[in-house]
Amino acid sequence: MSTLVIAEHDNSSLKVATLNAVAAAQAMGAGIDILVAGASCGGAAEQAAKVAGVGKVLVADNAAYEHQLAENISLLIAELGAAYDNIVAPATTNCKNTMPRVAALLDVAQISEIISVESADTFKRPIYAGNVIATVQSSDAKKVITVRTTAFDAAPADGGSASVEAVSAVHDAGISSFVSQEVAVSDRPELTSAKIVISGGRGMQNGENFKLLDGIADKLGAAIGASRAAVDAGFVPNDYQVGQTGKIVAPDLYIAVGISGAIQHLAGMKDSKVIVAINKDEDAPIFQVADYGLVADLFVALPELEAKL
Amino acid sequence: MKVLVAVKRVVDYNVKVRAKADGSNVDLNNVKMAINPFCEIAVEEAVRLKEAGTATEVIAVSVGDKSCQEQIRTALALGADRGIQVETDGPVEPLVVAKLLKAVVDKEQPQLVILGKQSIDGDNNQTGQMLGALAKMPQGTFASEISVDGDKLNVTREVDGGLQTVSLSLPAIVTTDLRLNEPRYASLPNIMKAKKKQLDVYSPADLGVAVTSHLTQVKVEPPAERKAGIKVADVAQLVDKLKNEAKVI
């Protein structure tokens, strides 16, 4: 069994999601290599070589891969993937963009967002917003898989000493180009890897009120998230969204404030270890999944909570 | 330019779907069906392009059994000009859907194909990208804004860190995210008019595509249930529980 794991990185460093994908790959068997495709991505490659249990790091360093354009990277992965039984990637927006193209180029199915490895060809994955878990068996000789990162504990970032091998193949499809990126800069931890997340919903009423979450997040070292309703209403940017179609999180502590608990939101956070809900509506569905529920006006409860922490 | 929009018939987003007791499949008996919400956004975007004079014709296509004609009619009522159904026996895998759509693309030669980023039943998030690879077209997935600029298409995409804008050569693929637009409601006169619009039916064989299966659903089961916890009286008790019982802060 051999597996090529696709690294999620920003050229200078490796993202934790890669380690979750390595862990899933380990559950499939030994023989794991990592592909770092980017531009001036030596930093990320160096970190990838230290990941425990990795045999080889393939580095494709070229301007064509700088912005992870799916049209270019999918051609590279399909070529390199020919030598492997499995091609595994974390279900980040980058890899969700690229991997189905890889699968189509190889004429195989993609198995999206697996949450467990049952055997070499059988996996579990959530469907219907996580209301049902399906066990699926693949008949493809080569498997293209994305991994729900919250379902696999990250492989150790240190302890390995993989060899680093440059890949000379350059694929530039020439049909797409990068224009610009608006990236939110924040001192807070990343939403998907934070130990504590505090999220606001429609009950926050406006974007200004999200500041009420700031002080609590600072004290707890938490990331701030939001429900779709809050994002759609323009309170906060899209990258805050937790849910079926936003980010999937599973922190040690998830605090839902002014969030009613639609199934689409629950799909993104119900695997959190401890869930706290603060809502003035005592019948809100969020209380059905909360370990600790506080029926209260959030505009009173939040300042009090901040003071008591 | 011609715009092709793919639509899928799925369980209505308000329905909480459950696994059957014997684990053989999900229970879809007497469940309300609807057009996939992301596909509805795709139709709306195509219709807006036509209203703006950018698109000349909007074609709605769906892959499925006869019942999916209902969702094609919904798209026609929202403003699509004509429909195409590719008739299959029940659901087919995303790769097959992509191959069937590729055949429709070859036939119709659209400059733009708009699809939902994922369907809320399988949650696969694959078909648009697969079609892109098969048709050798660039893709703007998870789009929150698109604009046609000559023979290029600018797409602003919702990505993990925020927003990314890419420029694509036409013809191109777009998959929709939630904030691309807010779909309109179909008016009664438009629903009536939609019944008379052209709807062609093809079989996979007509399109030269073999319906294959790469995945078998072995079983389905409910997820691990979370039990509802307790209600705390006040903030002080909440902080105490988090510190001393759950030990998470």
pLDDT tens digits for A110-131? 999 999 999 999 999 999 999 9
What's the ipTM? 0.96
Neighbours of B145 (CB within 10 A): 17
Residue A57 and residue A28 in contact, taking contact as beta carbons nearer than 8 Å:
no
pLDDT tens digits for B190-200? 999 999 999 99
> Does the structure show a pLDDT above 90 at B152?
yes
- Mean pLDDT of all residues in A181-185: 86
Residue A51 and residue A157 in contact, taking contact as beta carbons nearer than 8 Å:
yes
> Does the structure show a pLDDT above 90 at B42?
yes
Q: Alpha helices of A107-178 — where are they, by DSSP H? A: none
- Mean pLDDT of all residues in A278-286: 97
pLDDT at position A8 is: 98
Distance CA(B66)–CA(A130), nearest Å, equals 28
Nearest to A138 among B98, B125, B215 (CB): B215
Task: Pull the structure tokens for residue A218.
Answer: 């600072």
Task: Select from A188, A189, A201 the least CA-distant residue to A302.
Answer: A201
- What is chain A's mean pLDDT, rounded? 96
DSSP, collapsed to helix, strand or coil, labels residue A272 as: coil
> What is the DSSP code (8-state) at residue B25?
S
pLDDT at position B19 is: 96
pLDDT at position A261 is: 96
Spell out a b/e string for A139-175, using b for 16 or more CB atoms within 10 Å of the CB, else e: ebebbbbbbbbbbbebbebeebebeeeebeeebbbeb
A286 contact B CB<8A: no
pLDDT at position A84 is: 97
Rounded to two decimals, the pTM is 0.95
* Continuous segment of H or E residues that includes residue A133: strand A132-138
> Does the structure show a pLDDT above 90 at A300?
yes
pLDDT tens digits for A169-181? 999 999 999 999 9
- What is chain B's mean pLDDT, rounded? 97
> Does the structure show a pLDDT above 90 at B226?
no
Instruction: Specify the higher pLDDT residue, B225 or B244.
Output: B244
Place of tokens 């939101």: A265
Q: Are strands A274-279 and A292-295 parallel, antiparallel or unpaired?
A: parallel
B31 contact A CB<8A: no
pLDDT at position B81 is: 98
pLDDT at position B159 is: 94
CB B163 to CB A274 under 8 A? no
pLDDT tens digits for B159-206? 998 999 999 999 999 999 999 999 999 999 999 999 999 999 999 999
- Mean pLDDT of all residues in B67-73: 98
Task: Select from A280, A281, A285 the least CA-distant residue to A302.
Answer: A280
List the 161-200 stretch of B: residues with Cβ below 8 A of A.
Answer: 161-169, 172, 177-179
Q: Which of A87, A110, A304 to mutate to test the interface with B (most CBs of B within 10 A)?
A: A110
Distance CA(A231)–CA(A124), nearest Å, equals 30
pLDDT at position B91 is: 86
pLDDT tens digits for A15-38? 999 999 999 999 999 899 999 999
pLDDT tens digits for A60-96? 999 999 999 999 999 999 999 999 999 999 999 999 9
Quick one: what percent of chain B has pLDDT higher than 90? 96
Q: Are strands B57-64 and B2-6 parallel, antiparallel or unpaired?
A: parallel
pLDDT tens digits for B86-139? 999 988 999 999 999 999 999 999 999 999 999 999 999 999 999 999 999 999
Quick one: what percent of chain B has pLDDT higher than 70? 100
Nearest to B217 among A71, A136, A140 (CB): A136
Could you tell me the pLDDT band of residue A185, with boundaries at 50, 70 and 90? confident
Q: Which residues of chain A make contact with B217, given a CB cutoff of 8 A?
A: 134-136
Residue B83 and residue B198 in contact, taking contact as beta carbons nearer than 8 Å:
yes
pLDDT at position A187 is: 87
| Radius of gyration of the CA atoms of chain A, in A | 20
Place of tokens 């079609």: B131
pLDDT at position A255 is: 98
> What is the DSSP code (8-state) at residue B65?
S
> With 0-12 CB in 10 A as exposed, 13-18 as middle and 19+ as buried, what is B27?
middle
> Does the structure show a pLDDT above 90 at A184?
no
CB B166 to CB A181 under 8 A? no
Place of tokens 């998870």: B142
**Which residue spans within chain B are E strands per DSSP?**
2-6, 9-11, 33-35, 57-64, 82-87, 112-116, 139-149, 152-159, 162-169, 172-176, 199-202, 215-221, 230-232
pLDDT at position B114 is: 98
Task: Select from B165, B246, B103 the least CA-distant residue to A183.
Answer: B165
- Mean pLDDT of all residues in A151-159: 96
Sign of CA dihedral B242, B244, B248, B249: positive
> What is the DSSP code (8-state) at residue B243?
I
